[in-house]
Amino acid sequence: MIRKVLGDYFINKNFFLLINGAFVSMIGTRMYEVAITWWVYQKTGSSLNVGWFLIATFLPRIIASPYSGYVLDHTSRRNIMVLMDILRGLLMLFLFIPVAIGKLTIIYLAAITILVSVCDAFFNPAVNSLIPDIINKELLVRGNSLYQLSNNVSKVLGPVFGATLLQVVGVGGIILINALSFVISGMCVILIKVEEKHLKTGRKSQTFIKDFQECKIFFKKNVFILSLVILIGVLNFFTGALHVLLPVHVKRLGMESIQYGSLLSALSVGAIAAMVITTISKIEVSILFLAISLFVYGLSILVFSLTSSFIIMIISYFVVGIGQTIFNVNMVSILQKIIPIDLRGKVFSIVQALTTALIPISYGVFGMLGNYFKTSYIFILTSVALLTGGIYVFLSEKLIEYSCNE
């Protein structure tokens, strides 16, 4: 089994470089997220402030996404990735300075976070758009699984390293590690040699308005995709409660940052388990797996919300990782198979904008509600939303009849 996974991992030099570069930067980012989120709550003692901080990580990305899609379809996606890694590394250095002199403020942190979020708006869709150019179409599911595997291994190691090193090197040390990770990522991506076919379609002079109209036509012809994207956006609103209130939930149960990091790692271990199964098996993209993954996700959150046992919490979050991952791999694979080469950048950017549009509102709403209601009640609401989404996907005739293999 391990041999099969590693065989796919090393089969393509470009894909190998992409995964390794992304893995290093994601390790740094996960460490940084744990340390900064914990720092914000420790400094302010308010879940609402954690919510405002998380809003700063998403809102700029949503606003910039439509323009980033236009840029990605008219320039080298690989070069954009390199540039974004460089810029994010520099931003981490600018953040380190006030930390080193003991002058870091919430406002300054938010400003840096906003700029990093804008860079993410270009980098993330660039990755999804580049993967189909460097691996064969029949390997897309496995390729996406391996990329998600790398991502989730970083989510296992990152929180553990972050929570541990936070006690040793402090926030400043973790910020420097994150800066270095972006430099390493950029060096790996710049070594990728790929023929970016979208640059040869003769569309470089096409206007932003024209591109947007083509994207609109694509969604009109693919109503299934649009309905699914809207559903994901609604569900992301409810699952946003987990992001903003998990450290609050852990703290209220009398636990510390090490338990918080362990829960995030359990989430990723579950995701890794799902990735390994998806990679070594020949599971095809299907609506059934989308529905099942939402059921698994919702039920595990329900169990998590009803217990104060750390062991059961760990197991529940492990299962959450499985549900999340199966859904994400299937969804990304569907998009990569049906989106034309010259539309990938803008469609992925719009998908990113639509699926995350409600997340900043979610962080604000649930950050406020966390000050007045038990976090367990809010998590139960999240589980109900996920289960309802699973029922909708399962029962919808249009979704069941659709198959990207047809």
Whole-number percent of the chain with pLDDT over 70: 84
Residue carrying structure tokens 């400043």:
172
Q: Is 217 in contact with 365 (CB distance < 8 Å)?
A: no
Over residues 69-93, the pLDDT tens digits come to 778 777 888 889 999 999 999 999 9
Q: Which of 47-56, 103-112, 214-223 has the lowest mean pLDDT?
A: 47-56
Q: What is the DSSP string of 193-227?
A: ----GGGGSS-TT--HHHHHHHHHHHHHH-HHHHH
User: What is the pLDDT averaged over residues 274-280?
Assistant: 72
How big is the chain by its Cα radius of gyration, in Å? Answer: 20
Handedness of CA 381, 251, 108, 117 (dihedral sign): negative
- In the numeric block, which tokens belong to residue 5? 């996974």
Joined tokens for residue 372: 């007045």
The full set of domain ranges for the chain reads: 2-190+205-401
Side-chain half-sphere CA neighbours of 353 within 13 A: 18
d(CA 303, CA 151): 25
pLDDT at res. 3? 45
- Token digits for 57? 């990580």
Length in residues, the chain: 406
State yes or no: pLDDT of 45 exceeds 80. no
What sections of 45-76 are H helices per DSSP? Answer: 47-72
Phi-psi region of 48 (alpha: psi -120 to 50; beta: other; left: phi over 0): alpha
Q: Say how many C-beta atoms besides its own lie within 10 A of residue 136's C-beta.
A: 11
pLDDT confidence of residue 141:
67
Region 12-32: mean pLDDT is 85
C-alpha 3/C-alpha 39 separation (Å) is 41
In tens, the pLDDT along 91-128 reads: 999 999 988 888 888 888 888 888 988 888 888 888 87
Asked if 287 and 383 count as a contact pair (C-beta separation under 8 A), the reply is no
Question: Distance (Å, rounded) from C-alpha 189 to C-alpha 83?
Answer: 10
| Per-residue pLDDT at 283 | 60
pLDDT of 402 reads 45
Give pLDDT tens digits for 357-388.
787 788 778 878 888 888 889 999 999 999 99
**How crowded is the C-beta side of 252, counted as CA atoms within 13 Å?**
16
N-to-C CA span, the chain? 29
* Topology adopted by domain 2-190+205-401: Growth Hormone; Chain: A; (1.20.1250)
Angle at Cα 76 formed by Cα 70 and Cα 94, nearest 5°? 85
pLDDT digits (tens, 9 = 90+) for 126-154: 887 788 778 776 666 677 777 777 776 77
Count of C-beta atoms within a 10 Å radius of residue 173: 16
How far is Cα 98 from Cα 106, in angstroms, rounded to an integer?
A: 11
Selection from 175-189, 211-225, 330-344, 360-374 with the highest mean pLDDT: 175-189
**Which amino acid belongs to residue 67?**
Y
In angstroms, the CA 334 to CA 393 distance is 15
The CA distance from 348 to 8, in Å, is 25
What are the structure tokens assigned to 39, written together? Answer: 């720092």
**What's the pLDDT at 368?**
83
pLDDT bracket for residue 406 (50, 70, 90): very low
Q: Name the packing angle between helices 47-72 and 13-44 (round to 10°).
A: 150
